[in-house]
Structure 1
Amino acid sequence: MDVNLDGLFRLNSSYDYGDDYVYTDDDLESRRAQAVWIPLVYSVVLVVGLLGNGLLLAFLARKKRAWRTSDTFVLHLSVADVLLLVTLPLWAAQASQSCGWCVGLALCKISGVLFKLNFFCGVFLLAAICLDRYLFWVHAKPLFSHKKPRMTHLSCACAWIISLLLTLPDWLFLVLEPHPWKEEWTQCVPSLYPANTRLASRLPQHLFGAAAAVVVGCSCLLPWLLRPPKSLRNQRAAIITLILAGAFSFCWVPYNVALAVDTFGGAKKTSPATKTSLMATAALGCVHACLRPLLYFGVSATFRTWTLAALSCAKVEPKGSAWGLGVGEDAVPERTPEEEEELKQVANGEQQEQSKVSSCDS
Structure 2
Amino acid sequence: MDVHLDGLFNLNVSYDYDEDYVYKDDDPDLKGGQAVWIPLVYSVVLILGLFGNGLLLAALALKKRAWRTSDTFILHLSVADVLLLITLPLWAAQATQSCGWCIGLALCRISAVIFKLNFFCGIFLLAIICLDRYLSLVHAKQLYSHKKPMLTHLSCLSVWLVSLLLTIPEWLYMPLERHPWKEEKTQCFLGLYTANKHLGSRISHHVFSAAAGVVIFFSCGTPWLQRSAKTIRKRVVTLILVGVFSLCWIPYNVVLVIDTFRGTETTSDALSGLPRSSRRTALKVTAVLGCVHACLRPLLYLGLSSDFRKWTLAMLSCVRAEPKGSVWELGVGDDALLEQNPETEQLKQLASVDQQVQVKMAT
Smaller-chain TM-score range?
A: 0.7 to 0.9
For the Cα contact (< 8 Å) 1:146–1:330, is it kept in 2? no
What's the TM-score, normalizing by structure 2?
A: 0.81
Residue range with higher mean Cα deviation, 183-192 or 255-264: 183-192
Shift of 1:334: 3.6
Counterpart residue number, 1:248? 245
Shift of 1:308: 1.1
Shift of 1:186: 2.4
Counterpart residue number, 2:19? none
For the Cα contact (< 8 Å) 2:137–2:340, is it kept in 1? no
Cα deviation digits, residues 8-43 of structure 1 (max 9, x gap): xxxxxxxxxxxxxx9965973754621111111111
- Change in 2 beyond 3 A, CA 1:160/1:59: same
Cα deviation digits, residues 325-361 of structure 1 (max 9, x gap): 1111336424569x87xx89xx9xxx9xxxxxxxxxx
For the Cα contact (< 8 Å) 1:173–1:191, is it kept in 2? no
For the Cα contact (< 8 Å) 1:81–1:289, is it kept in 2? yes
Over the matched positions of the two proteins, sequence identity in percent amounts to 66
Counterpart residue number, 1:169? 169
For residue 44 of structure 2, what is the amino acid of its counterpart?
V
Shift of 1:190: 8.2
- Change in 2 beyond 3 A, CA 1:103/1:137: same
Counterpart pick for 2:262 among 257, 262, 265: 265
Shift of 1:324: 1.1
Counterpart pick for 1:230 among 227, 230, 234: 227
- Change in 2 beyond 3 A, CA 1:112/1:141: same
5+ residue gaps, structure 1: 1-21, 352-362
For the Cα contact (< 8 Å) 1:175–1:190, is it kept in 2? no
Counterpart residue number, 2:210? 210
Cα deviation digits, residues 233-257 of structure 1 (max 9, x gap): 1111111111101111111011101
Q: CA–CA distance in 1 between the matches of 2:177 and 2:83?
A: 25
Counterpart residue number, 1:70? 70
Counterpart residue number, 2:299? 294
5+ residue gaps, structure 2: 1-21, 269-274, 355-363
Bigger Cα Rg: 2
Counterpart residue number, 2:51? 51
Q: CA–CA distance in 1 between the matches of 2:278 and 2:136?
A: 45
For the Cα contact (< 8 Å) 2:308–2:327, is it kept in 1? yes
- Change in 2 beyond 3 A, CA 1:149/1:123: same
What's the TM-score, normalizing by structure 1?
A: 0.81
Tell me the number of residue pairs that the alignment of Structure 1 and Structure 2 aligns.
Answer: 319
For residue 256 of structure 1, what is the amino acid of its counterpart?
N
Q: CA–CA distance in 2 between the matches of 1:184 and 1:33?
A: 22
For residue 298 of structure 1, what is the amino acid of its counterpart?
G
Q: CA–CA distance in 1 between the matches of 2:299 and 2:262?
A: 36
Counterpart residue number, 1:19? none
Q: Does 1:304 align with 2:309?
A: yes
Q: CA–CA distance in 2 between the matches of 1:322 and 1:49?
A: 16
Q: CA–CA distance in 1 between the matches of 2:53 and 2:205?
A: 26
Cα deviation digits, residues 153-186 of structure 1 (max 9, x gap): 1100000000000000100012445323111212
Q: CA–CA distance in 1 between the matches of 2:219 and 2:246?
A: 14
For the Cα contact (< 8 Å) 2:132–2:332, is it kept in 1? yes
Give the 3-state SS of the residue equivalent to 1:187 in structure 2: strand
For residue 201 of structure 2, what is the amino acid of its counterpart?
S
Residue range with higher mean Cα deviation, 210-219 or 190-199: 190-199
Counterpart residue number, 1:11? none
TM superposition outliers: structure 1 runs of 4+ over 4 Å = 22-27, 189-194
